[in-house]
């Protein structure tokens, strides 16, 4: 695999990676100071069988946790040490990140499954816009390109949307990215034929209108991946299909309308203040409508809001509010307060050029989804931050 690294001044450095390294008998910490340094450290270490802890050094709580804790002190560490090779952390967009231990088999089987999804595409180049410290970045952005064989991997610290158009101009390119990037590409005025190229997106389901815009504007295809750090990949779908398809080695069912998963990709252990065993099948907080190995994702149980008798995901409401004039970003949460008559309230946080009248907000939601009967509160912030994987964070 040839690494084509684009520096901040847009100069390109072509690197043939040396994957030989010695194995340390202790867990090695790798942070995300920059992508080139990460790749040069991670790939040889992973190939050699080194045990690795991957964490985002920009996440202050997580960095503090690593400074103050040695994972070998945790109860059950010996069990983990005998089977696991990698420790990933969730992106931490809500609360403190949970660690997920992965075995080498967890990882390599999932990479092979991702590779199978690309059978009909003749991929010659991979453009990775994602950070590599999280599991999606490692799997799709690094190990998948390596498994594809003699291809070029193009990496930059921060791609701009129009730069992707330039990188895919030669065709046969796989772009590994996130919903935020897909949305930004859809807003560009340029029209480029990407019919021989493909986008893979994860970290959250895309809105259908964003998928359709990208596919129609650029004559390309999108594969969406669904899963979590703990579960690994669960399912995929192409384009704006409403139904998710379980990955080949994943068995799904529903328990009280929640998605339940049995899979070789699931972490055997997690680190959540202590090391815990993850039993299978593992039941997630995702509400689904289930049809054999296909399912419709309704939303997270704690991120669903009932409007006009229908359960609507908070992210869907956010995308509607972001169409209002002046609104740049929106975060919608359902909060519970005992003092309220209905014990629940919708909290809407807006990054907006101006204050939006509550009647305008209510009318917009009604126009798209139906009459909103739950009381809501609006607050304004200067900036809604994004995590390294593009998830919205409100502090």
Q: Name residues whose C-beta falls within 8 Å of residue 10's C-beta, 6 or more positions apart in sequence.
A: none
* Average pLDDT for 25-53: 91
Which H or E run includes 332? strand 327-336
pLDDT at 199 over 90: yes
Q: How many CB atoms lie within 10 A of CB 58?
A: 14
The reported pLDDT for the residue numbered 278 is 94
What is the number of domains present in the chain?
2
CATH, residue 339: 3.30.300.30
Q: What is the pLDDT of residue 339?
A: 59
Where is the domain boundary, 279, 298, 317?
298
94 pLDDT exceeds 80? no
Mean pLDDT on 367-378 = 87
In a domain, residue 335? The reply is yes
Q: Are residues 44 and 82 in the same domain?
A: yes
State percent of the chain over pLDDT 90.
56
Q: Which of 237, 390, 210, 374 is nearest to 304 (CA)?
A: 374
As beta bridge partners, residue 176 has 128, 200
- Residues 75, 109, single domain; the answer is yes
**pLDDT score at 87:** 96
Which pLDDT does position 309 carry in this prediction? 65
pLDDT score, position 86: 97
Last residue of one domain, picked from the residues 252, 275, 298: 298
* Average pLDDT for 76-102: 85
Query: Same structural domain for residues 321 and 283?
Result: no
The reported pLDDT for the residue numbered 245 is: 96
Q: Are residues 291 and 381 in the same domain?
A: no
322 lies in the same domain as 195: no
Does residue 50 lie in a domain region? yes
Residues 106 and 218 in one domain: yes
- Strand, coil or helix: 106: helix
Q: Confirm whether 79 is domain-assigned.
A: yes
231 and 326 together in one domain:
no
Which DSSP helix (H) or strand (E) runs through 39?
Answer: helix 35-48
Cα separation values, 236 from 130, 227, 287, Å:
18, 9, 16
Q: Of 298, 328, 354, which closes a domain?
A: 298
Q: Are 34 and 159 within one domain? A: yes
- pLDDT at residue 93, rounded to an integer: 52
pLDDT score of 204: 79
Collapsed DSSP state (helix, strand, coil) of residue 312: strand
- The Cα-based distances of 277 to 16, 23, 91, 134, 260 in angstroms read 39, 27, 21, 21, 16
How confident is the model over 36-64, as a mean pLDDT?
Answer: 88
Using alpha carbons, select from 202, 197, 141, 204 the residue that is nearest to residue 171. 197
**275 or 170: whose pLDDT is higher?**
275
Selection from 383, 351, 376 nearest residue 361 by Cα: 376
**184 domain residue, yes or no:** yes
Q: In the structure encoding, which two tokens stand for residue 295, read together?
A: 């399912």
225 and 363 fall within a common domain: no
For residue 303, is it within any domain? no
The answer to whether position 215 is within a domain reads yes
Per-residue pLDDT at 338 exceeds 70: no
Do 173 and 191 fall within a single domain?
A: yes
Q: Are 186 and 150 in a shared domain?
A: yes
- Mean pLDDT taken over the chain: 88
The answer as to whether 223 is a domain residue is yes
* Owning domain of residue 366: 308-393
Domain shared by 334 and 355, yes or no: yes
CATH number assigned to the domain comprising residue 230: 3.40.50.12780
- Whole-angstrom distance, CA of residue 40 vs CA of residue 18: 8
């Amino acid at each position: 695999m040839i690494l084509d690294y684009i520096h901040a001044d847009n100069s390109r450095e072509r690197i043939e990676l040396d994957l030989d390294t010695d194995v340390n008998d202790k867990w090695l910490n790798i942070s995300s100071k920059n992508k080139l340094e990460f790749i040069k450290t991670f790939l040889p270490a992973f190939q050699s069988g080194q045990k690795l802890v991957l964490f985002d050094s920009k996440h202050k709580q997580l960095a503090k946790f690593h400074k103050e804790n040695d994972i070998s002190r945790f109860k059950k560490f010996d069990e983990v040490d005998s089977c696991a090779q990698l420790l990933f952390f969730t992106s931490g967009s809500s609360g403190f990140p949970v660690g997920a231990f992965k075995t080498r088999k967890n990882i390599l089987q999932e990479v092979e499954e991702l590779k199978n999804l690309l059978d009909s595409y003749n991929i010659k180049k991979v453009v990775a816009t994602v950070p590599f410290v999280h599991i999606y970045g490692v799997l799709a952005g690094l190990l998948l390109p390596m498994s594809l064989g003699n291809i070029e991997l193009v990496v930059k610290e921060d791609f701009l949307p129009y730069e992707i158009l330039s990188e895919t101009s030669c065709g046969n390119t796989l772009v590994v990215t996130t919903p935020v990037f897909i949305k930004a590409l859809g807003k560009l005025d340029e029209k480029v034929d990407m019919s021989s190229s493909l986008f893979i997106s994860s970290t959250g389901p895309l809105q259908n209108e964003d998928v359709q815009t990208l596919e129609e504007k650029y004559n390309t295809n999108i594969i969406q991946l669904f899963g979590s750090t703990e579960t690994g990949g669960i399912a995929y779908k192409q384009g704006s299909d409403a139904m998710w398809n379980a990955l080949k080695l994943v068995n799904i069912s529903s328990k009280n309308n929640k998605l339940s998963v049995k899979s070789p990709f699931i972490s055997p252990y997690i680190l959540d203040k202590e090391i815990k065993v993850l039993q299978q099948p593992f039941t997630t907080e995702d509400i689904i409508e289930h049809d054999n190995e296909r399912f419709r994702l309704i939303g997270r149980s704690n991120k669903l809001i009932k409007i006009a008798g229908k359960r609507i995901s908070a992210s869907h409401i956010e995308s509607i509010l972001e169409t209002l004039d002046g609104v740049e970003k929106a975060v919608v949460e359902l909060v519970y307060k005992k003092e309220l008559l209905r014990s629940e309230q919708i909290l809407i946080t807006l990054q907006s050029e101006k204050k939006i009248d509550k009647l305008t907000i209510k009318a917009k939601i009604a126009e798209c989804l139906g009459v909103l009967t739950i009381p809501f509160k609006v607050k304004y912030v200067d900036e809604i931050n994004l995590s390294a994987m593009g998830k919205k964070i409100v502090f």
